[in-house]
Structure 1
Amino acid sequence: MTSLPSPSRNPRVRVTDVEVLSSAWYVLRRTTFDYRHGDGRWSTEQRETYDRGNGATVLLYDPAGGTVLLTRQFRYPVYVNDHPDGMFLETAAGLLDADDAETAIRREVQEETGVRLGELEHVFDVYTSPGSVTERLHCYAAPYDPADRGEGGGIAEEGEDIEVVELRFAEALKMIETGEIADAKTIMLLQWAALRGPFRDAAD
């Protein structure tokens, strides 16, 4: 979970009150703060922030086979916001919990896809929804060997029911255009792979 910012980090922001609205699953806070605008005037603002902790994700790719390994699972928030069936295609990901980002993504990948990661490349960190969600997502890429894949599928006791999906890289890129892949982290990592990553030559 995030901590409150130090006053020295931005002298234009003075937090005056923090109220916890909910902590049933993660933490929803309403914060009141004074903000100094560019013209020098001060105003009192309120924002609600949803703190679910930070996370990590990884694009699994097979450079020899020209494929990527994604997951598909039911995501209720996208289902309720007009996604056709809620079955969301995305890179393996998970919350850090008490681990560092590399440890967490190795754990999540093995649980979700059955792949035991070796080499791991840090690509970038992003804030997924900066208007309301505090989460920072650590994004990685890693090669995988199809012969070494395990069962995966997630942890049934936690309600996970995850399908592992192997796609040709070119097909995955086309699925961004058709909307079949609509997950932000997955789109960013696929585009990175085409522009600067393992499939740069193929994309050219």
Structure 2
Amino acid sequence: MNNSRIKNITKEVLSDNWYTLNKYTYDYQKDDGSWETQEREAYDRGNGAAILLYNKKKGSVVLTKQFRMPTYVNGNEDGMMVEVCAGLLDGLNPEECVKKEVEEETGYQIDKVRKVFESYMSPGSVTEILHFFVGEYEAGMKVNEGGGAADETENIEVLEMPFTTAMTMISNGEIKDSKSIMLLQYAQIHGLVESQQH
């Protein structure tokens, strides 16, 4: 951290019940050279990784479906979200994390993944950086049913669908998760998955 326009930073922990919510007070130098005191809250839940599993020959992708309470309280009627596979790093490097999450959530054991970009997902309030990956899967890589880690109460449904169906689900609002939209659009832009519509 090296910004000469910020000084006198103080941090107050507001909550550390699940992850950590901090309140930062600091002086910020405006464009006219004057200083003003600002306050911001930042939620620190660690960094994460997300991956789009795709099968180029079948023209298909593997997504997950699970209940997300924050979306339920903000207008998502049943609280269910269709998403790419993702998880927090929890001490692993991003590549190790996505491979572990893929096996836990989807039941596929993949050995080759490719990082395509990283992003701050909600830079106004959350510290998280998300590392984005893509990886090819095939039926022979399925080693268990998936569904999430038993101790994490995830209850994940595994969805395999045509890539074209997933793109339609973005258009009609069935997929509203930002990381999933970003990876599916990346796949579309870079031609990772062949359309099976002939």
Regarding TM over 0.5, the answer is yes
User: 1:157 aligns to what?
Assistant: 151
Amino acid at match of 1:83: N
Pairs within 5 Å for 1:127-166? 127-149=120-142, 150-166=144-160
The 1:16–1:157 alpha-carbon spacing in structure 2 relative to 1, beyond 3 Å, is closer
User: 2:50 aligns to what?
Assistant: 57
Amino acid at match of 1:172: A
> In structure 1, the residue corresponding to 2:11 is in which secondary structure?
strand
User: 1:189 aligns to what?
Assistant: 183
TM-score, length of structure 1 as denominator length: 0.92
How far does residue 125 in structure 1 lie from its aligned partner after superposition? 0.2
Query: How many Å separate the matches in 1 of 2:172 and 2:9?
Result: 46
Counterpart contact for 1:15–1:31, Cα < 8 Å: no
TM-score, length of structure 2 as denominator length: 0.95
1:38 aligns with 2:31: yes
Q: Deviations over 1:129-182 (max 9, x none)?
A: 000000000000000002322310112232120000011001100100100000
Gaps in structure 2 of 5+ consecutive residues: none
Query: How many Å separate the matches in 1 of 2:129 and 2:10?
Result: 23
Match of residue 10, structure 2, among 10, 17, 41: 17
Query: How many Å separate the matches in 2 of 1:151 and 1:89?
Result: 18
> In structure 1, the residue corresponding to 2:18 is in which secondary structure?
coil
1:175 aligns with 2:169: yes
> In structure 1, the residue corresponding to 2:58 is in which secondary structure?
coil
User: 1:111 aligns to what?
Assistant: 104
How far does residue 202 in structure 1 lie from its aligned partner after superposition? 4.3
Q: Deviations over 1:55-107 (max 9, x none)?
A: 00000000010000000000000011101211110000000011111111111
Amino acid at match of 1:68: V
Counterpart contact for 2:115–2:133, Cα < 8 Å: yes
Q: Which runs of 4+ in 1 moved over 4 A?
A: none
C-alpha RMSD of the superposition: 1.3
> In structure 2, the residue corresponding to 1:167 is in which secondary structure?
strand
How far does residue 15 in structure 1 lie from its aligned partner after superposition? 3.8
Matched residues, number: 195
